[in-house]
């Protein structure tokens, strides 16, 4: 082999090696971008539920439930009494074991990774049991002690118009004031996801609107909310997406507008009754 041939072969080898390196680098960049895309899509899902089912004594209470709540979204879970809403929320939170299905909150399993989720999820239930003789301030401080990082409960009391009740006993609060306090307790951990059950029960019109305003402001900051409600005006005001349960299964999932447009009616209340068949059962 002549020197010229050796030089040509050497150049070809170098070019091929460089091409291989370039291809490998391109593949690595492509893989990294794909991973980032997947991670971004995953992060967008604050709550992801797939195939969730639960039975009691052989009776299906929820069946093959699928739902997604995205970051900064308010999701309304609707349905008649006994439709499976409470059981669905309990199974999503991991406080009740589902028979089958998969749940992820912020990418974590609420059953096996509860400790990691504890600081990031707030829960307010319609009926909460606390001692009547405890002061509002004391209850807020005791709740805050459970978490490493918290929102300032004093700011929340001001935000929800309860700052003048800080030294009042729980027994001295009206039903609406208690309801606002229970929302505050759910928000004290500074959660990324919060579950609210009939949040404005007992509130007058002005107080309801003030609560809605607070929640919309928190949503704009990235808070994800799962809202169980029977109040259609509340659902219309707050919810980006809704799911309507009947006998443990979704009969509709989408926007409020889609729920109305896909029914024979022109307003959400009538559309809801049509989807749930409550009107027929009266």
pLDDT tens sequence across 14-36: 656 676 677 676 676 676 665 45
Q: What domains can be seen in the chain, in order of their start residue?
A: 41-276 (3.40.50.300)
pLDDT band at 75 (very low <50, low <70, confident <90, very high): very high
Report yes or no: 78 and 246 within 8 Å, Cβ to Cβ: no
β-bridge partners, 69 = 47
Determine contact, residues 184/160, Cβ cutoff 8 Å.
yes
> In the prediction, which pLDDT does 83 show?
93
Is a pLDDT exceeding 60 seen at residue 210? yes
Q: 233-246, pLDDT tens digit by residue?
A: 999 999 999 999 99
Q: Return the pLDDT at 38.
A: 45
Model confidence, pTM = 0.81
| Cβ proximity of 182 and 123 under 8 Å | no
What is the rounded CA–CA span in Å between residue 209 and residue 16?
A: 69
Residues 6+ apart with CB under 8 A from 56: none
- By DSSP bridging, strand 121-124 and strand 193-197 are parallel
Task: Specify whether the CB–CB gap between 76 and 238 falls below 8 A.
Answer: yes
């Amino acid at each position: 082999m002549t020197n010229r041939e050796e030089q040509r072969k050497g150049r070809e080898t170098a070019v091929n090696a460089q091409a291989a390196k370039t291809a490998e680098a391109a593949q690595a960049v492509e893989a990294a971008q794909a991973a980032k895309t997947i991670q971004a899509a995953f992060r967008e899902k604050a709550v992801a539920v797939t195939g969730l089912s639960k039975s009691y004594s052989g009776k299906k209470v929820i069946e093959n439930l699928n739902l997604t709540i995205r970051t900064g979204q308010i999701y309304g879970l609707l349905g008649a009494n006994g439709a499976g809403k409470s059981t669905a929320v309990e199974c999503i939170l991991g406080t009740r074991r589902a028979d089958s299905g998969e749940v992820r909150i912020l990418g974590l399993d609420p059953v096996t990774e509860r400790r990691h989720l504890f600081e990031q999820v707030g829960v307010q239930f319609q009926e909460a049991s606390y001692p009547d003789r405890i002061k509002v301030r004391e209850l807020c401080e005791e709740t805050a002690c459970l978490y490493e990082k918290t929102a300032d409960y004093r700011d929340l009391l001001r935000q929800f118009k309860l700052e003048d009740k800080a030294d009042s006993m729980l027994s001295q609060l009206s039903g609406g004031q208690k309801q606002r306090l229970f929302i505050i307790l759910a928000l004290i951990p500074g959660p990324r996801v919060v579950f609210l059950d009939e949040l404005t029960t007992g509130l007058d019109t002005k107080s309801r609107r003030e609560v809605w305003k607070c929640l919309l402001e928190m949503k704009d900051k990235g808070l994800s909310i799962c809202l169980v409600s029977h109040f259609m005006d509340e659902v219309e005001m707050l919810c980006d997406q809704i799911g309507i349960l009947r006998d443990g299964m979704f009969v509709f999932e989408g926007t409020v507008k889609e729920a109305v447009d896909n029914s024979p009616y022109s307003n959400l209340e009538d559309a809801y009754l049509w989807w749930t068949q409550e009107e027929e059962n009266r």
